[in-house]
Amino acid sequence: MGAMESTLDSLTQLSSSPAFSSSSSSSSSSSSSSSSSSKETHSSSKTNPKRRPSSTKHDREQQQQQEQKPNLRRPKLVHRNVTRFYEIPFGPYRRPEDVLRSFGYELIRELDRGAYGVVYIAHDLRKEMKVACKQIEMDRTFHRNVFEENKNELLTIERVRHPYVIKVYCHFVVQGNGFNRMYIFMALADGGNLYKFIRNRNTLITEEKCRLYFAQILCGINHMHSVGIAHRDIKPQNVLLCSNRNSISGDYLLVVTDFGLSKVVTDQQQLAMSICGTPVFMAPELLQSKPYNPFAADVWALGITLFQMLSMELPFNFHQPQEFIIQSMMDKKIAWESAFRKTRQQPSNEYKQLVRSMLNPDSNRRIRMINITNHPWIVREYAMAESTSRSLRSSMRSHHHH
Ligand SMILES: Nc1ncnc2c1ncn2[C@@H]1O[C@H](COP(=O)(O)OP(=O)(O)O)[C@@H](O)[C@H]1O
Ligand SMILES: [Mg+2]
């Protein structure tokens, strides 16, 4: 989860732009917002932000008035490394919504849920556009050190900008009374996730389409691997569709989401999750709790994903005890017959050969990313995806400079 591609500037933006100044520089932020504030906001809270009575009548009125405004001052920044932690203080910030509004965002409605987060459509009040906001309830007892330890990875994720990786605008943690909640603001994918997209169609996608979609996923994952980040949760639900006629498939740009932050946010929750969640995308070495190479595990998950994209079935029978599941993986018993019985077309031999090499139970012999991208089944589409990615990236850059 926690897929992060963000702009370089989302890091700098938070600290440099006046609209984003934290309360540690409250004098500048209050002066910058005072032009749009009414007289009532000239209150004790400005002159003396630390000690103010919280329940006078005057305050309540003032609070109500402030709730109407997007220009609330930043709540108190209590900790930062890459992730900023804001504490909901006394005063106008009674609810997380108020904190979000002070960042210029408003949640509109729930869009979907995953295993860890609730995703909302949100309104970016300054840019006046719709964005997505993922909200993750974190362990109450979580340690900020976890963020510290993964600082480099977080930094990398925040800096990645790639057409096949979701664009993350900013993320921060709001700490209230008894809860820690992470918010991740990112581009809104209008086509939803790939799993629902295929399931809601009347027919399965063709092998041709599958190549064009898979090439984009591969390109996004390959890029993250090249900067040293494994995804760890690859599956069609974590691939989003964004309408784009310039994509190689002519309909959608496929973007990978739910990256990296998984490590940070969910490690402590992982145990509980894996007991109830179906481990259908997990490589056998993970199921056996062996030490594993996360990049090879990503390749396995990509193999399951590729199988599911074309058949909407799974390659192994997961309705059996785990030891039998692992055994059928070890025996390379891929359920071609049952999965493709109802489909109109039989998959090509090249497709089957590629899936087989990705689902090699021996992680050392499992096909490597570089060899997937060179595989005859996908090599042409992959090259197309790469070249589209290059042109999209350069246009993203020039957009940005204007
Ligand atoms: N940026 C987005 N745009 C549109 N839908 C999204 C976006 N991010 C997530 N979703 C939807 O919400 C679901 C859950 O999001 P995800 O980030 O995968 O959370 P989790 O970590 O809980 O799995 C996705 O499968 C997708 O349907
Ligand atoms: Mg997910």
Minimal-distance CA residue to ligand 1 atom 22: 114
- The rounded distance, in Å, linking the Cα atoms of 395 and 400 is 8
SS3 content of the chain, % helix, strand, coil (to 5): 45, 15, 40
Q: Tens digits of per-residue pLDDT, 208-239?
A: 999 999 999 999 999 999 988 888 889 999 99
* Ligand 1 touching residue 132 (CB < 6 A): yes
Residue 237 Cα to ligand 2 midpoint, Å, equals 6
Give per-10-residue mean pLDDT for the chain (402 aa).
Answer: 33 30 35 36 38 48 50 67 68 76 93 89 96 85 64 68 90 81 91 96 95 98 89 92 96 88 52 52 91 92 98 94 95 96 91 98 98 98 96 75 48
* Ligand 1 touching residue 176 (CB < 6 A): no
Minimal-distance CA residue to ligand 1 atom 25: 237
Antiparallel, parallel or unpaired: β 84-87 and 167-176? parallel
**Residue of 109, 111, 265, 270 to mutate, ligand 1, most atoms within 8 A of C-beta:** 111
Residue 119 Cα to ligand 1 midpoint, Å, equals 6
Nearest atom in ligand 1 to the alpha carbon of residue 190 is: 4
Q: What is the model's pTM?
A: 0.78
Nearest atom in ligand 1 to the alpha carbon of residue 131 is: 1
For residue 8, which amino acid is it? L
Amino acid 4: pLDDT: 36
Residue 167 Cα to ligand 2 midpoint, Å, equals 15
Amino acid 133: pLDDT: 95
Q: Tens digits of per-residue pLDDT, 328-386?
A: 999 999 999 999 998 888 999 999 999 999 999 999 999 999 999 999 999 999 999 99
Ligand lying nearest the CA atom of residue 167: 1
Within 13 Å, how many C-alpha atoms sit on residue 326's CB side? 11
Q: What is the DSSP letter of 20?
A: G
What beta strand segments (E) does 114-270 contain? Answer: 117-124, 129-138, 167-176, 179-186, 239-243, 252-256
Closest CA to 159 of 148, 145, 170: 170
* Ligand 1 touching residue 186 (CB < 6 A): yes
For residue 112, which amino acid is it? D
Residue 238 Cα to ligand 2 midpoint, Å, equals 5
Residue 190 Cα to ligand 1 midpoint, Å, equals 11
Q: What is the DSSP letter of 348?
A: P
Minimal-distance CA residue to ligand 1 atom 20: 114
Amino acid 309: pLDDT: 97
Tally of CB atoms within 10 A around 61: 11
Nearest atom in ligand 1 to the alpha carbon of residue 119 is: 12
Residue 376 Cα to ligand 2 midpoint, Å, equals 30
> Longest C-alpha distance within the chain, in Å?
75
* Ligand 1 touching residue 135 (CB < 6 A): no
Ligand lying nearest the CA atom of residue 121: 1
